[in-house]
Amino acid sequence: MAEEGAASGPLAGVRVVELAGIGPGPFAAMVLADLGADVVRVDRPGGAGGLRIDPDYDLANRNKRSVLIDLKADGGTAVVLDLVERADILIEGYRPGVAEKLGLGPDDCLARNPKLVYGRMTGWGQEGPLARTAGHDIGYIAVTGALSMIGAADGPPVAPVNLLGDYAGGSLYLVIGLLAALHHARAGGSGQVVDAAIVDGTAHLTAVTHGMMAAGGWRDQRGTNLLDGGCPFYGTYETADGGYMAVGPLERKFYTEFIELLGIVDKAPARDDFDSWTALRDAIADRFKERTREEWTAVFGASDACVAPVLSLREAPSHPQLAARSTFLDHGGITQPAPAPRFSATPGAVRRAPARPGADADEVARDWGVTSLIEGNPS
């Protein structure tokens, strides 16, 4: 692990201003910071609102530094623009029009820094009938059709925490856009605005499924398809101790190994006989309930049967594969996922604990040459 605060990663030297918010914007900034970018989070007095968490445990703010600026006070906007002038990227997650009212909209910032990549993170996007309304992950993934695919055929759609919309369809698409626009600007182009909407990103994630549906290989009904739990050899099964095993031997050779190790070769109906899938599911379920999760893990552990134990968040770091790769690490007394992906020449690292609001003004003022942070900053 690199020393506390030491720059490392492929984005070392890239400067990012993050206007404090909650959810996907901060996570996107964390990804950039994990990859070595110098992220300065502009917190405001009273916090960003929304879900409260002790700043010491807010991992979305790891590897960042924080300054405290009152954007509604006289001079507050000017201090932020001083940072913008020296930045490569800005990230904001306000409702459409709010940044403009603060004097920090794209026109204001690009006038100060024409090479700036201005990232906007919203749920609904910058235009449309819902653009200015409130929303959360569950609503965004609902209207894109993604939520409709998750859950049993005879039950309601199941919310996949907020991983699918906020972070996959939101944060990661913003990161893709920011890096693409940064490449453009550094290759001689101008700065520009990256409009990342969770509805757009989540819809984009369903591209392959739309293709399968158009080809007749996917039914627009959850729990009835190959990859949504409708298939008996792609799903989860309870074990004798109340645990679960995840099963996914889609390929025939893997399936053959699966039923052999499970011990149901003589009981299992033909896998390609769709009319017998209910009987096959029952045979698999009955067999899994005969042993504990730990016992089944031992049976399938070194096989190609594509079976894995369903681990909890607390259990995951101890899994042998994840432990061997150091997929999780401990920093500041918190077990947390390590930066991803990995780079052979410029590895990322967790360099700093989550930033406490306003704790780094002097340091940022020195490193960025923004004396207004400590000279009359209305924080």
Q: What are the pLDDT tens digits along the chain (379 aa)? A: 444 556 689 999 999 999 999 999 999 999 999 999 999 999 999 875 555 789 999 999 999 999 999 999 999 999 999 999 999 999 999 999 999 999 999 999 999 999 999 999 999 999 999 999 999 999 999 999 999 999 999 999 999 999 999 999 999 999 999 999 999 999 999 999 999 999 999 999 999 999 999 999 999 999 999 999 999 999 999 999 999 999 999 999 999 999 999 999 999 999 999 899 999 999 999 999 999 999 999 999 999 999 999 999 999 999 999 999 999 999 999 999 999 999 999 999 999 999 999 999 999 999 999 999 988 677 6
Which of 66, 78, 77, 57 lies closest to 16, judged by CA? Answer: 66
Round to whole Å and give the CA distance between 198 and 210.
18
CB atoms within 10 A of CB 235: 20
What is the CATH code for 15-206+328-373?
A: 3.40.50.10540
CB atoms within 10 A of CB 86: 16
> Is 331 labeled as catalytic in the residue annotation?
no
For 323, residues 6+ apart whose C-beta sits below 8 A from its C-beta are: 317
Q: Tell me which amino acid residue 15 is.
A: R
CB-CB contact of 121 with 170 (8 Å): yes
Round to whole Å and give the CA distance between 199 and 182.
23
Residue 192 pairs in a beta bridge with: 117
CB atoms within 10 A of CB 25: 27
* Catalytic residue chosen out of the listed positions 136, 304, 319, 367: 136
Q: Map out the domains of the chain as residue ranges.
A: 15-206+328-373, 244-309
* Catalytic residue chosen out of the listed positions 88, 137, 166, 200: 166
> Is 43 labeled as catalytic in the residue annotation?
no
Does domain 244-309 fall under CATH 3.30.479.10? My reply is no
